[in-house]
């Protein structure tokens, strides 16, 4: 088991020292048979030091479609403003969602309440939202089951216990055929049920709209509002629904959400394009909404953050502030965190004997020569042809300048020689003139 030497691993190696316990969850770079996965996972765990490595096993088809396909053939070109290189396939997008879902499932097997989950790079754009939904839904359902609470859609208040067994047969409007059961219902009970449901002979449409959950939904306090649990405030309810029941249900579920909330951060190690470029991707809305599931999104530069805010406005319809986005009862903070080199690690490496040996070897090999050093991966987004052309132009101009300098030095030496000759002739003539005067 060897640690990766990539830029992401190198950048994070110094950060993990700040935490007592760290889990590194990722694809190990191979696709072994299922019978070997458990053995290899145990071997990786045993070889781990402070950072415990948890593998996410992918099938070779998913590796091809998710990594080589969607990530590197669809996302990578667009993130670098190179739309002519982008390629799209529906199978790639399906594999991308499937693998992101698999990552979310593995993360939830080790994540506990209030853990910090740090997700990296464009390969996992959908994981933050998936984690949020999977975790919250699972715990809310468990708590609701324990409390015996009836779950309903978020914009509707819960059913009252008294309503669950009294909802009987409602008399149908005239002109519609009635069922056999309706014919056996007593008239007085039907009238009672009709009155309880808000129907009467004098039906007021405006009054009904104001007394329905839809008409009064703007007055509800959200279930995720921390003030409900901390201050114990009463929840506003629509007319006809008991305040105690909805208060008890919303308070219990809210407390579960607060106590089990995962702290999710996302950092993008690549540029983020403008809306005009990202909208080329068929799944652009899913990508933006997926990463909005994080509590914090980090970018390299403010320009990338600005492009992301533009995409949030145009693709999702939310109105972000300068440093955060409020959406669906959640706040996602935005930040700029320029990543740098691990200076401390570089300084420690320069003090090793191995570095001293390499330095001596290179000094002897390239003594008296000039070096052009460029550390870059072989990728079209790095501008390698342009860089090589620049190096070639530099060498050509350096040679031309050297020739010009040589010619210039020759001309100067010739001019200096002629000056010396003129000076000698002047001295000889001066000597002859002096001797003639003495005579």
User: What is the percentage of the chain residues whose pLDDT exceeds 70?
Assistant: 64
CB 344 within 8 A of CB 10: no
List of residues 6+ apart from 384 with CB closer than 8 A: 376, 378
| Selected residue with higher pLDDT from 278 and 407 | 278
CB 80 within 8 A of CB 277: no
Q: How confident is the model at residue 217 (pLDDT cuts 50, 70, 90)?
A: very low
The H or E element spanning position 336 is strand 330-336
The H or E element spanning position 334 is strand 330-336
How many C-alpha atoms does 265 have within 13 Å on its Cβ side? 11
Structure tokens at 415: 């001019």
Calculate the average pLDDT of the chain: 74
Per DSSP, 2 falls in state -
Structure tokens at 333: 């903070």
Q: Which among 305, 338, 297, 344 has a CA at the least distance from the CA of 322?
A: 305
Q: How confident is the model at residue 269 (pLDDT cuts 50, 70, 90)?
A: very high
In 197-327, where do the E strands start and end?
A: 263-267, 296-299, 324-327
Q: How confident is the model at residue 148 (pLDDT cuts 50, 70, 90)?
A: low
Q: How confident is the model at residue 80 (pLDDT cuts 50, 70, 90)?
A: very high
Q: How far is residue 244 CA from its own chain's centroid?
A: 41
In 91-233, where do the E strands start and end?
A: 116-120
Instruction: Answer yes or no: pTM beyond 0.85.
Output: no
Cα 92 to Cα 112: distance, rounded to the nearest angstrom: 32
Note the pLDDT tens digit of each residue in 305-359.
999 999 999 999 999 999 999 998 889 999 999 887 778 878 888 999 999 999 9
Cα 62 to Cα 74: distance, rounded to the nearest angstrom: 15
Most confident option among 61-70, 166-175, 235-244 = 61-70
Residue 249 scores a pLDDT above 50: no
Q: Which among 213, 261, 218, 246 has a CA at the least distance from the CA of 113?
A: 261
List of residues 6+ apart from 93 with CB closer than 8 A: 70, 74, 282, 283
Give 299's strand partners: 336
Comparing 91-105, 111-125, 375-389, 398-412, the range with the smallest average pLDDT is 398-412
Q: Tell me, what's the pLDDT at 114?
A: 77
Comparing 32-36, 101-105, 187-191, the range with the smallest average pLDDT is 187-191
Note the pLDDT tens digit of each residue in 153-204.
544 444 545 444 444 444 444 444 444 444 554 455 444 443 434 433 443 4
What SS3 class is residue 22? strand
| Selected residue with higher pLDDT from 439 and 80 | 80
Cα 403 to Cα 178: distance, rounded to the nearest angstrom: 106
Q: How confident is the model at residue 426 (pLDDT cuts 50, 70, 90)?
A: low
């Amino acid at each position: 088991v060897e640690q990766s030497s990539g830029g992401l691993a190198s950048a994070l190696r110094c950060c993990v020292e700040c935490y007592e316990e760290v889990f590194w969850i990722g694809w190990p770079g191979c696709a072994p048979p299922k019978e070997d996965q458990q053995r290899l996972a145990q071997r990786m765990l045993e070889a781990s030091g402070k950072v415990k490595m948890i593998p996410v096993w992918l099938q070779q088809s998913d590796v091809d479609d998710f990594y080589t396909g969607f990530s590197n053939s669809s996302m990578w070109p667009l993130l670098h403003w190179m739309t002519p290189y982008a390629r799209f396939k529906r199978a790639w997008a399906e594999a991308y969602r499937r693998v992101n879902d698999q990552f979310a499932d593995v993360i939830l097997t080790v994540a506990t309440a209030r853990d910090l989950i740090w997700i990296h790079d464009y390969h996992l754009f959908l994981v933050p939202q998936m984690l949020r939904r999977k975790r919250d839904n699972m715990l809310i359902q468990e708590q609701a089951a324990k409390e015996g609470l009836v779950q309903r859609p978020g914009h509707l208040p819960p059913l009252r216990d008294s309503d669950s067994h009294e909802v009987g047969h409602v008399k149908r409007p005239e002109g519609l055929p009635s069922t056999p059961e309706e014919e056996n219902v007593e008239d007085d009970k039907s009238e009672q049920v009709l009155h309880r449901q808000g129907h009467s002979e004098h039906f007021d449409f405006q009054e009904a709209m104001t007394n329905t959950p839809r008409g009064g939904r703007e007055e509800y306090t959200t279930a995720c509002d921390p003030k409900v649990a901390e201050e114990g405030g009463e929840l506003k309810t629509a007319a006809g629904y008991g305040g105690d029941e909805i208060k008890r249900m919303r308070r219990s579920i809210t407390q579960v959400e607060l106590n089990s909330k995962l702290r999710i951060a996302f950092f993008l190690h690549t540029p983020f394009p403008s809306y005009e470029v990202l909208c080329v991707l068929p799944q652009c809305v899913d990508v933006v909404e997926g990463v909005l599931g994080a509590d914090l999104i980090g970018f390299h530069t403010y320009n990338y953050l600005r492009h992301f805010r533009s995409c949030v406005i145009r693709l999702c319809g939310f109105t972000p502030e300068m440093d955060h986005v409020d959406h669906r009862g959640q706040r996602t903070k935005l930040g700029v965190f320029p990543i740098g080199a691990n200076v401390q690690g570089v300084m420690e490496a320069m003090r090793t004997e191995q570095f001293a040996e390499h330095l001596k070897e290179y000094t002897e090999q390239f003594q008296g020569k000039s070096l052009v050093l460029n550390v870059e991966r072989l990728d079209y987004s790095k501008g390698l042809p342009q860089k090589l052309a620049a190096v070639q132009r530099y060498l050509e101009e350096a040679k031309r300048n050297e020739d010009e300098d040589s010619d210039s030095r020759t001309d100067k030496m010739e001019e200096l020689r002629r000056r010396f000759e003129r000076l000698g002739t002047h001295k000889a003539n001066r000597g002859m003139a002096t001797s003639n005067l003495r005579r």
